Structure formats: structure tokens, C-alpha cells
């Protein structure tokens, strides 16, 4: 179809006006006459209504304490050094009857300073023991910046919000979940 010069200008005005009426009058039928912008707009009125982030959103990092061996890989790979680990060695009961007690690393301290964290996810990627997980939870702002340092207990609590592992789409490398939740 041949385009008239200036047709695009008019169409552009039509697009904005169309969006305007769609936002202002989203209802159908006779109720269409009532303006209801809070229904038509895509805005989520955050403090009043919550947005549901995608399940794989990078909200907060959760810790599964049993899996952590204090290997310090996450600490060393963290770009801004916001993970603090302290551990001591202790003896755990043997796996099999009659075995020797095992020597394991027990966590004394596992802190993540969310004032420093830049949510790169390298620690989650690098952890060889599946001890660190992403959770989509995002509401943990604090009036005091020091309170953004989440200690071990707090990080373990976040484990409850970690969603079930979803398999990747077909054709991608299948990641085997070593530790069932």
C-alpha cells in the first residue's frame, strides 16, 4: 500500500491516544465510560500490592548449612569480598557401623554483607556442594546499613523461600540437582 507523506505522524498520534484511552478506560461495555486508570495501567502499586518476581530472580542468597564444608571457594570468588566464613574442625559420627569418626568442618560464622553484594551470583555458581541458592525474595531493606549483614541463621531462614528447581528448557545442558530439597 502506498503511504501518504505525513501518514506516520498521524499514526503516531493514534498510538499515543490509543494507549491513553486503553489506560484510562480499560473496562468493557457500559462501564467503559468510567475512567479506571489504576486498572488499566501496568504499574504495580508496590507497597500495597506485591509484585511476584520470576522464580529464578536474584533476590537474596540462601544458605543450606549442612552442605557447606567451609571450603572458602565462594569467599575467594566473590568480586567484592562480601562473604565472611569462619569454621572449626570437629569430629562427626562415622557413616557406617564400626567406622572411624569423620573429621568435618563446622561453620562458626557465615555472613553475607548485602550492602556490598552486587548480586552477580558467582558464589552460587562456584559452590561445589550445592550449599548456596538464589531466592526471589526481595524485601529485606533496613534502616541501618549494618543490619544488611545477614548472619548464618538469617541466611538459613531464607532457604524456606527458595523455589523448587525447575529443569532447563529442552536442548540446554541438563543440570543435575545433587541435593534434593
Partner 1 sequence: MSGAATLAELAYWQQSVLRSVGVLVAVLLPAGTFVYLFLFKAVSFMQSRLGPNEAGPYGSMQLLAEVGKWLQKEDITPERADAKLFKLAPYLVVGTVLLVYAAVPFGPDAVFADLDVGIFYVLAVGSISVIGIIIAGWASANKYSLIGGLRAAGQLIAYELPMVLAVVGVVIQAETMNLQRIVVAQAEGEIFGFGGLGNPFILTQGIGLLIFMIAMQAELTQTPFDMPVAESEIVTGYLTEYSGMRFLMFFIGEFASAAAFSAVAATLFLGGWYLPGLDMDAKYMNVVGPIVLFTKMLVFGFIIFWVRFTYPRFREDQLQRFAWTVLIPLSLVNIGATAVLKVVF
Q: Is there binding between residue 176 and partner 1 (CB under 8 A)?
A: no
Q: Which stretch binds partner 1 (CB under 8 A): 11-19, 67-75, 81-89, 101-109?
A: 11-19
The cell for 80 is: 567484592
Query: Concatenated DSSP letters for 45-64?
Result: -TTTS-----TT---EEEE-
d(CA 77, CA 59): 19
- Least Å distance, CB 129 to partner 1, is 45
Footprint of partner 1 on 40-99 (CB under 8 A) = 40-43, 45
Q: Looking at residue 131, what DSSP letter applies?
A: -
From 56, 62, 57, select the one nearest 123 (Cα to Cα): 62
Element (H, E) at 113: strand 102-113
3-state SS, residue 108: strand
Q: Is there binding between residue 13 and partner 1 (CB under 8 A)?
A: yes
Footprint of partner 1 on 113-172 (CB under 8 A) = none
Q: Is there binding between residue 7 and partner 1 (CB under 8 A)?
A: no
Question: Please, which residue, 12 or 79, has the CB nearer to partner 1?
Answer: 12
Question: Please, which residue, 32 or 76, has the CB nearer to partner 1?
Answer: 32
Residues of this chain that interact with partner 1 (CB under 8 A) are 9, 12-13, 15-17, 19-20, 22-24, 37-38, 40-43, 45
Amino acid at each position: 500500500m502506498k503511504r501518504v507523506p505525513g501518514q506516520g505522524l498521524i499514526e503516531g498520534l493514534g498510538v499515543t491516544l490509543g494507549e491513553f484511552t486503553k489506560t484510562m478506560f480499560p473496562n468493557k461495555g457500559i462501564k467503559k465510560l468510567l475512567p479506571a486508570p489504576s486498572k488499566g495501567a501496568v504499574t504495580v502499586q508496590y507497597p500495597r500490592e506485591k509484585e511476584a518476581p520470576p522464580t529464578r530472580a536474584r533476590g537474596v542468597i540462601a544458605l543450606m548449612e549442612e552442605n557447606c564444608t567451609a571450603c572458602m571457594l565462594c569467599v575467594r570468588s566473590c568480586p567484592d569480598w562480601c562473604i565472611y566464613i569462619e569454621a572449626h574442625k570437629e569430629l562427626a559420627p562415622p557413616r557406617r557401623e564400626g567406622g572411624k569418626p569423620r573429621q568435618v568442618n563446622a561453620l562458626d560464622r557465615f555472613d553475607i554483607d548485602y550492602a556490598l553484594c552486587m548480586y552477580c551470583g558467582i558464589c552460587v555458581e562456584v559452590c561445589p556442594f550445592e550449599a548456596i541458592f538464589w531466592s526471589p525474595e526481595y524485601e529485606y531493606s533496613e534502616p541501618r546499613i549494618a543490619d544488611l549483614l545477614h548472619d548464618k541463621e538469617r541466611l538459613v531462614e531464607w532457604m524456606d523461600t527458595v523455589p523448587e528447581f525447575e529443569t532447563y528448557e529442552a536442548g540446554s545442558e541438563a543440570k543435575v540437582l545433587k541435593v534434593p530439597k
